[in-house]
Chains A and B, each alone.
Chain A
Amino acid sequence: MYGWHLRILRVNLTTHKVTTEDVDPKIARDYLGGRGWAIHYLYKEMDPMVDPLSPENVLIFATGPLTATPAPTGNRYMVVTKSPLTGALAHSNSGGEFPTWMKRTGFDMYIFEGKSPEPVYLFVNEDQIEVRPAAHVWGKDVHETTDILKAETSEEARVACIGQAGENLALMAAIMNDKHRAAARSGVGAVMGSKNLKAVVAMGNKNPALHNPEEMRALSVDTSKNVGADVKKGSNMRIYGTSYVPQVTNTLGILPTRNFLQGTFEGVNNIDGDALKNQYLIRHTPCYRCPLSCGRLTEVPDGPYKGKGEGPEYETISSLGTGCGVSNLAALVKANYLCNEYGMDTITTGMTIAVAMEMYEKGYISEEVIGMPLKFGDHDAMIAMIRKMAYREGFGNDLAQGSYRLAEKYGHPELAVTTRKQEFPGYDPRGSQGMGLLYATSNKGASHMEGDVAYEEVFGVPVKENPLTTEGKPELVKHFEDSFALMDSSGLCVFVAIRYAFNKDRMILPQRLAEMMNFSTGAGYTPEEALKAAERVYNLERMFLIKAGSVPENDTLPYRMLHEPLPDGPAKGKVVELDKMLPEFYKLRGWDEKGYPTKEKLIELELPLN
């Protein structure tokens, strides 16, 4: 077989025993790779009811068939496990360099089981596989840990690790790789911390053999040329990264402001892409083999928020910035650095502080409990909360449970803007109805990366959809969910894949993506077959969710989205019209009217019936 190594590394952290095994080629093809392979193994091997922070939970790192190939942005991996934040499925994607280095160890996937009696890290250099003591880096942040582990292994190695937030089991803990890249969402870093696994260090030279290297190279060069032509014209992703987006969402009235109390932010000009570019940008930084290069290396040269690192990108601006009513850019950049160093998801971190701010202002949480005033816009208090959260100090222990549990503890769960207890990203669905349906049904709780129809509703990519209407949205959401499951399984970055590896029609078709996967693996997918496999992945995840107890009744939205109309902006007066979309969505998915996959659907997708 090509493209995939068809080899898995299994690490029992309880015994420190390491084994390797082969993957059945039929399973490889049917489940694509990455996210698809991971759910196949998770579903097969683990009781979905396990406590996510117990040794029984399984943590999977999975690369795809395009990872470590010449395909532009073939630099991704997925972290898949049961989420301690949502109690459902976690699958978080990251790029940078580590995923490519991981695949070059000769394994497509690492599976971690059990719990180490003491802190350890895994070192893999092809056949040299060692579980090593990590007491000397326990308690250290992501940057220090990365530097120390590279120094004691090899400068050629790449590191994925947790910071203090993961060690302390904060539910917004991320797994960081190459210092600045994050498999961020759903508390995957807390699962790693619960296993006493501080880091994974990978190196090797085993690039996957390709089925058709010449065609693969030609198609990759052509794809890079297409990206390059847009960059030449002036692609905002190159010039600004995603930091230009606040102006777009503010224009449409869907920029989360003060815990979604508003959809426009008066201070947006202080924290947008131009402000960042003019004040703190050093240069753009790419993940491995990326012709687009959307990362931002930035520096606040002096003052109280002095620091250097990467970011912020849009989702950080809309959570720690506008979500908290913060318009001080230096403070926001610093907050981003801190999240990267402690290893935290900026979305859940920011939106949890945002709900605490609203509850403080409404008198539901007192200054005594918090230890200081916590008003919207108070950037110093926001920064103080991040540290408290990472260390679970004082009120930080409440914050570390995420916004839903925090709001519930203090008597107002309706104020948490979450689905399946996961915080919303930066698109207010009252003004982007398709996103509302997506958040409600997403297999991992609210997330744009589960099927980002904002591409069409907000950005006009590849075609413009009216964000305020519900007609046709169920069809679009289903199609995008399947398409994102495909991208997440392939090993390509969504930013590039959706624009350059799909046809430019409303119902995007993965023509070029399927070709790339074929040149890599020789599996001979038609675009339709690739999408069908992605639908299989999506439905198996749904089955996992239901078995984990996150039943279809959770396919809903928080009170604010259904009952409090937006007070300002173009979407003023709007709520999410979920009941107009959900029944049709279930039907299109082949699920019954309650939202359970039907037997016919499972048979059609060749999935297990129980």
Chain B
Amino acid sequence: MMIRVKLIANYREALPPEAKHGVVELDVPNGTTVYDAISRFDIPLNDESVIVLNGLTVDMNTPLVEGDMVTAFSAIAGG
């Protein structure tokens, strides 16, 4: 199934060159979780990152469905 991963600001450096405006499309097997999808990228997977599914706060073990967007950004800065 196709899902998308979006990385914001400094995290964009972890994206492959084909990413556009911080978004890549990925073909992932059924049962892939938020954690599985985001751990493909070299970003901190601890409290230094905020990771959301379709903009919502979810458990990292939530399984993805076709068309989902996982987004991550650094929690180092704040506004």
Beta-carbon contact of B50 and A460 below 8 Å: yes
> Please, which residues of chain A bring their CB within 8 A of the CB of B13?
234
Candidates A247, A253, A460; contact of B22 at CB < 8 Å: A247
| Interchain CA distance A459-B50 in the complex, whole Å | 7
Beta-carbon contact of B75 and A461 below 8 Å: yes
| Interchain CA distance A462-B6 in the complex, whole Å | 22
A239-B10, A464-B50 are known contacts. Are A252 and B75 too (CB-CB below 8 A)?
no
> Please, which residues of chain A bring their CB within 8 A of the CB of B10?
234-236, 239-240, 244
Interface assignment of A388: CB less than 8 Å from any CB of chain B: no
Using CB atoms, name the residue of chain A closest to B21: A269
Beta-carbon contact of B8 and A247 below 8 Å: yes
Interface assignment of B29: CB less than 8 Å from any CB of chain A: no
Interface assignment of A338: CB less than 8 Å from any CB of chain B: no
Closest-CB distance, A252 to chain B (whole angstroms): 5
Beta-carbon contact of A248 and B57 below 8 Å: no
0 or 1 for each of B26-64: is its CB under 8 Å from A? (1 = yes): 000000000000000000000101101011110000000
A236-B9, A244-B8, A463-B47 are known contacts. Are A251 and B76 too (CB-CB below 8 A)?
no
Beta-carbon contact of A252 and B55 below 8 Å: yes
> Please, which residues of chain A bring their CB within 8 A of the CB of B57?
464, 466-468
Closest-CB distance, B64 to chain A (whole angstroms): 16
Interface assignment of B17: CB less than 8 Å from any CB of chain A: no
Number of interface residues of B (CB under 8 A): 24
Candidates A235, A242, A467, A571; contact of B79 at CB < 8 Å: A242
Interface assignment of A291: CB less than 8 Å from any CB of chain B: no
Beta-carbon contact of A251 and B6 below 8 Å: yes
Beta-carbon contact of A236 and B71 below 8 Å: no
Beta-carbon contact of B9 and A570 below 8 Å: no
Beta-carbon contact of A569 and B55 below 8 Å: yes
> Please, which residues of chain B bring their CB within 8 A of the CB of A569?
55
Closest-CB distance, B75 to chain A (whole angstroms): 4
> Please, which residues of chain A bring their CB within 8 A of the CB of B49?
460
Beta-carbon contact of B74 and A234 below 8 Å: yes
Interface assignment of A499: CB less than 8 Å from any CB of chain B: yes
Interface assignment of A245: CB less than 8 Å from any CB of chain B: yes
Interface assignment of A273: CB less than 8 Å from any CB of chain B: yes
Candidates B50, B56, B76; contact of A235 at CB < 8 Å: B76
> Please, which residues of chain B bring their CB within 8 A of the CB of A499?
78
Given contacts A273-B9, A464-B50, 10 further A-B contacts (CB under 8 A): A234-B10, A236-B10, A236-B76, A244-B10, A248-B8, A455-B78, A464-B47, A464-B75, A467-B57, A570-B52
The contact sample of 21 A-B pairs, CB cut-off 8 A, is A234-B76, A235-B74, A239-B9, A242-B79, A244-B8, A244-B9, A245-B79, A247-B9, A251-B52, A251-B71, A252-B55, A274-B9, A274-B21, A459-B78, A460-B47, A463-B47, A569-B55, A570-B54, A570-B55, A570-B56, A571-B55
Which A positions have Cβ atoms within 8 angstroms of B?
230, 233-237, 239-240, 242, 244-245, 247-248, 251-253, 269, 273-274, 314, 448, 452, 454-455, 458-464, 466-468, 495, 498-499, 569-571
Closest 4 CB pairs of A and B: A570-B55, A460-B75, A244-B9, A460-B50
